[in-house]
Structure 1
């Protein structure tokens, strides 16, 4: 969906977009966040321009767990909201996690972008009414491509 509204918020998937995905069977207390290339710098760049949040599918982690992990690698402080599928009771491709994040930010869907790495991310973003950009390269490159396409 192409919007005439300026981009106000960027929502980010976590595993595969910000950090390397962990094995689904990995115990939460043993998880270690490993940032993907350029994420720390790109998050700081994004935070100076947009409101940021994270929306992630997880079968066991709450917002507190995800924030704790992201804080260890220096990016959690830039995220105004973190919504997990555990917290809202449904997983993407259901749009509810993205809708909850947008509601908490107070940002219209048409003024937001969701960046993810899976088809379920695209489906959820589209159903929520926000833009979607598949991660391809760094976050900054992905968002720059999206903005160029919007023009």
Structure 2
């Protein structure tokens, strides 16, 4: 899922200006859309279908700390599971192919859903997520990670 990638960007002149304008446009779009489609937006959609419920604190900084810790735990769990699966693959001397990577991701997804529902959500009294909500939440999370970690196949010159 998370792979070490080298990013090389060479920009100058108009392409640098266009890149800066694109970054500003994306940042502005995110600033406007995150309150509607970010964490609270996703919660509103899940709450609408009775897949999750969250009790909000009275002060915004309590919400930030509580839900920030919740998101950090989810992210940490995913990274640790990915490292654990890579360790298993390396220790068994299995060649990392697309099929092995796909099977590993599916296993990580299943383990993530179970660990999240059984341990992480159980530790937070103000958050309740159903099994279907957990499945949808992690499906969206793994799809986003898969999109950002996609690597184009390299051309082979003959």
More strand by share: 1
**TM-score bracket for the superposition, by shorter chain length:** under 0.3
More helix by share: 2
Q: TM-score, normalised by structure 1?
A: 0.27
Ranked by relative contact order (alpha carbons within 8 Å, sequence separation 6 or more), the top structure is 2
Q: TM-score, normalised by structure 2?
A: 0.26
